[in-house]
Amino acid sequence: MKIIKATDYKDMSRKAANIISAQVIMKPDCVLGLATGSTPIGTYDQLVEWYKKGDLDFSGVTSVNLDEYKGLSGDNDQSYRYFMNTHLFDRVNIDKTKTYVPNGLEADSAKACGDYNRIIAEVGGVDLQLLGLGHNGHIGFNEPSATFEKETHCVDLTQSTIDANARFFATMDDVPKQAYTMGIKTIMQAKKIVVVVSGEDKANIVKEAFFGPITPQVPASVLQLHNDVVVVGDAAALSKI
Ligand code: F6R
């Protein structure tokens, strides 16, 4: 595991974007595994900036996202598909038909997850997976549990996540209660993994996940077993290691 220390959020975003750029330049038809959340937004902004300058070409790139809320369509502004369109896909020359997010509108969980596993296999697996890190060590929607989850699966969201999301929806019925997520096995099969972490509030979990025991109670700790992981963090997030 390699740890790259950035000074601040902007610097972290540039460094992470540099690694992704190198991947796209070295393999223009690569498969990028992408994440939502607040941490990668600056990374996507930086990639867009370099694309606009003519330094990056996404026309050959395929992407697969980590996760999606079950029940939300891609035009719902709370969906992860909408997030990706807004922050990256609509701003660069990626072929949208080659950008994959689990199908939130598929009510049959087994089908949604099976379809997504097939897509990942058909595109040839993930070359570079970008990850954020949850405060409890989650990656994707793989929450602390007794065992490491495997491939794409459906998770029940915790009540605190449901409550936190409630403000974005008209009624409680509209708030997603479940999500589809890549599993730990899928994530671990990526050839390269880049984790972005920012802010003092991530300092404890960075230490626990990357320097503590490997346990399903801290899902990101499994990344210690991967042979090509880069953690790009700002000084605050890396302040306890
Ligand atoms: C996003 C995802 C989540 C986030 C994590 C960190 O697709 O699956 O695991 O990466 O919750 O989120 P932020 O970056 O908002 O701290």
Which residue lies with its CA nearest to atom 2 of ligand 1? 140
| Distance from C-alpha of 173 to C-alpha of 78, rounded to nearest angstrom | 14
Q: Which domains does the chain have, with CATH numbers?
A: 2-234 (3.40.50.1360)
> In angstroms, what is the span from residue 98 Cα to ligand 1's centroid?
22
- Residue 37 contacts residue 68 (beta carbons within 8 Å): no
- Token pair belonging to 81: 């598909």
- Residue 194 contacts residue 128 (beta carbons within 8 Å): yes
pLDDT, tens digit (0-9, with 9 covering 90-100), for 19-41: 999 999 999 999 999 999 999 99
- Residue 190 contacts residue 127 (beta carbons within 8 Å): yes
Lowest mean pLDDT among 30-44, 112-126, 134-148, 157-171: 157-171
pLDDT exceeds cutoff 90 at 111: yes
> In angstroms, what is the span from residue 236 Cα to ligand 1's centroid?
18
- Token pair belonging to 149: 């989850």
Spell out which residues line ligand 1, taking CB within 6 angstroms: 35-39, 66-67, 132-134, 138-141
- Token pair belonging to 6: 């950035």
Alpha-carbon distances of 61 from 100, 116, 123, 177, rounded to whole Å: 11, 18, 11, 32
pLDDT, tens digit (0-9, with 9 covering 90-100), for 47-102: 999 999 999 999 999 999 999 999 999 999 999 999 999 999 999 999 999 999 99
